[in-house]
Amino acid sequence: MRLLFGILATLGLAAGPAYTSLKAQTAAPTTVAGQAAPAPLLSPWTGPYGGVPAFDKIKVADFKPALEAAMAENLAEIDAIANNPQAPTFDNTIAAMEQSGRTLDRVQTAYGIWGSSLNDAAFSAVETEMAPRLAAMADQISQNAALFKRIEAVYNAPETRKLTPEQQRLVEVRYKAFVRAGARLDAPAKARLSQINQALAGLFTRFSQNTLADENTQTLELKTEQDLSGLPASLRSAAAGAAAAKGLKSVAGVITNTRSSVDPFLTYSDQRALREQAWRMFTNRGDNGGPNDNNAIITEILQLRAERAKLLGYPTHAHLRLDNTMAKTPEAAMDLMLKMWKPAVARVHEEVADMLALAKKEGAPANFKIEPWDYRYYAEKVRKARYDLDQNEVKQYLQLDKMREGMFWVAGELFNFSFVPVTNVPVYHPDVKVWEVKDKTSGQHVGLWYFDPYARPGKRSGAWMNAYRNQERMNGQPVTTIVSNNSNFVKGKEGEPVLISWTDATTLFHEFGHALHGLSSNVTYPSLAGTSVVRDYVEFPSQLLENWLPTPEVLNKYALHYQTGKPIPAALVERIAKARTFNEGFATTEFMASALVDMKMHLAGSQKIDPDKFERETLAELGMPSELVMRHRTPQFSHVFSSDGYSAGYYSYVWSVVLAADAYTAFTDAGGPYDKAVAERLRKHVFTVGNTVDPAAGYRAFRGRDPKIDALMKERGFPMAGPAAGKAGKPAAPAKSKAAPAAKRKK
Name the residues annotated as catalytic: 511
Which of these, 14, 175, 16, lies nearest to 93 by C-alpha position?
Answer: 175
Q: Is the dihedral of CA 440, 445, 446, 448 positive or negative?
A: positive
| Cβ within 8 Å of residue 711, ≥6 positions away | 658, 661, 662, 664, 665
Rounded CA separation 621/584 (Å): 22
C-alpha to C-alpha distance for 656 and 537, rounded to whole angstroms: 6
How far is Cα 305 from Cα 599, in angstroms, rounded to an integer? Answer: 13
CA distance 89 to 33: 28
Residue 412 has a CB neighbour count (10 Å cut-off) of 13
C-alpha–C-alpha distance, residues 421 and 433, integer Å: 8
Q: Would you tell me how many other CB atoms lie within 10 Å of the CB of residue 34? A: 6
Q: How many CB atoms neighbour CB 424 within 10 A? A: 10
Positions of E strands within 218-350? 219-222, 253-256
Q: Is the peptide bond before 40 cis (omega within 30 degrees of 0)?
A: yes
Which of 220, 224, 218 minimizes the C-alpha distance to 252? Answer: 224
What Cα–Cα distance (Å) separates residue 103 from each residue in 22, 344, 354, 606, 688?
Answer: 11, 48, 59, 39, 26
The Cα–Cα gap between 639 and 652 comes to 11
Measure Cα distances from 732 to 430, 474, 619 in Å. Answer: 47, 34, 26
Candidates 588, 601, 154, 105; CA nearest to 345 is 588
Q: What is the Cα–Cα distance from 283 to 634, expressed in whole angstroms?
A: 10
Rounded to whole angstroms, the Cα distance separating 143 from 40 reads: 31
CB 659 within 8 A of CB 543: yes
Q: Which ranges constitute the DSSP H helices of 521-583?
A: 535-545, 552-558, 570-578
Going 365 to 371 to 373 to 374, the CA torsion angle's sign is: positive
Q: Which of 652, 678, 698 has the alpha carbon at shortest distance from 547?
A: 678
CA distance 535 to 652: 6
615 half-sphere exposure, CB direction, 13 A CA radius: 20
Other CB atoms within 10 Å distance of the CB of residue 85: 4
Per the CB < 8 A criterion, the answer to whether 103 and 29 are in contact is: yes
Beta bridge partners of 220: 255
Distance CA 258, CA 211 (A): 11
331 class by beta-carbon count within 10 Å (0-12 exposed, 13-18 middle, 19+ buried): middle
Helix (H, G, I), strand (E, B) or coil at 499: strand
Task: Give Cβ neighbours of residue 682 (< 8 Å, ≥ 6 apart).
Answer: 414, 544, 663, 666, 702
Show Cβ contacts of residue 21 under 8 Å, excluding neighbours closer than 6 positions: 466, 467, 468, 469, 470, 481, 483, 518, 526, 529, 530, 531, 532
- Decide the pairing of beta strands 219-222 and 35-36: unpaired
